[in-house]
């Protein structure tokens, strides 16, 4: 599972050839969640409200890059790192 980004203790990953809809995985301490790229809504899991807010902020800034990674991972297995939230 490639690590796409890491910031403030939050780890963003994607799986190779994962199921639809396009999404990314978030890990923060003992919390885990899946976030839809199109809506930045939580598909599954749980995150503290402040962490979810940071993830949504980061996701809105990098939505195009996330979709590119989704496509590349599902077709070629390639990906690129995305800048963390500053």
Backbone torsions φ then ψ of 34, nearest 5 degrees? -115, 135
- pLDDT, residue 38, reads 97
Band the pLDDT of 86: cuts 50, 70, 90. Answer: confident
- 8's CB contacts (< 8 A; 6+ apart) are 54, 84, 85
Q: How far apart are CA 37 and CA 29, in angstroms?
A: 22
pTM given for the model: 0.95
- Read off the pLDDT band of 18 (50, 70, 90): confident
Cα–chain center distance at 34: 7
Torsion of CA 40, 46, 52, 58, to 10 degrees: -50
Domain residue extents for the chain: 3-75
Q: What is the mean pLDDT of the chain?
A: 96
């Amino acid at each position: 599972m490639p690590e796409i980004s890491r910031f403030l203790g939050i780890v963003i990953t994607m799986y190779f050839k994962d199921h639809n809809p396009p999404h990314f995985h978030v890990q923060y301490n003992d919390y885990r969640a899946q976030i839809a790229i199109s809506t930045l809504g939580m598909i599954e899991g749980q995150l503290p409200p402040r962490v979810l807010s940071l993830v949504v902020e980061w996701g809105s800034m990098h939505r195009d890059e996330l979709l590119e990674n989704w496509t590349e991972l599902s077709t070629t297995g390639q990906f690129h790192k995305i800048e963390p939230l500053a």
